[in-house]
Amino acid sequence: MLARMALGLGVAALAACAPASDGRNAASGEQPATGTQSAASTPPVLFSADKLLITSPEVSTLAFGTSRELVERELSKVLGAPVGRDANDECGAGPMESSNYTGGLVLNFQQSKLVGWELRGGDALRYQTDKALAPGDSKADLLGKYAVTGIPDSTLGDEFTSAEGVGGFLEGQGAQAHIASLHAGVNCFFR
């Protein structure tokens, strides 16, 4: 846990140095904002409520609204190509396409623009939020990093959302409760 907290502080410092991107340039097909990588132990991609932060080999921000082509091209440099692509015309938010990556990462797109992400587990060191939280972490870790609100009567299980815009699902009870998955933006959950 201390290693993740230290990682979170390093990432926060790194993110503060990275150029901001509002997604407009990236969505138009221009190169994403980039900077120099300074934290060698930082996972290659971090996830926040409205963007992905590629941390290696250069810092690159991919905001929601960025084209699928650019997102996949940039991620292929650090994660490889998607292992699958899906489409679902029956999502409540409208037709959605997704790109699936090894380790439980799903990126969601509408009209070929990035609109959301989901971390379903897998390698917690590879995929985590910008606050160093990953599937498998304890509920106590979650509560220490996010202002969480449970979603009462969810038909999907022990579901939560946060003031920061990151939500997810918990498994287990009491002190054994842990994060099963995390997500942000638009996702296709059938309620």
- Please give the Cα distance from 109 to 77 (Å, whole number): 20
CA distances from 6 to 21, 39, 84, 143, 156 (A): 25, 11, 34, 17, 33
Give the three-class secondary structure for 69: helix
pLDDT single digits (tens) 96-132:
999 999 989 999 999 999 999 999 876 544 789 999 9
Residue ranges and CATH numbers for the domains of the chain are 2-184 (2.60.460)
- Per residue in 32-85, pLDDT tens? 544 443 444 678 999 999 999 999 888 999 999 999 999 999 999 999 999 999
Q: How far is CA 90 from CA 128, 140, 169, in A?
A: 28, 35, 22
Q: Indicate the pTM of the whole model.
A: 0.76
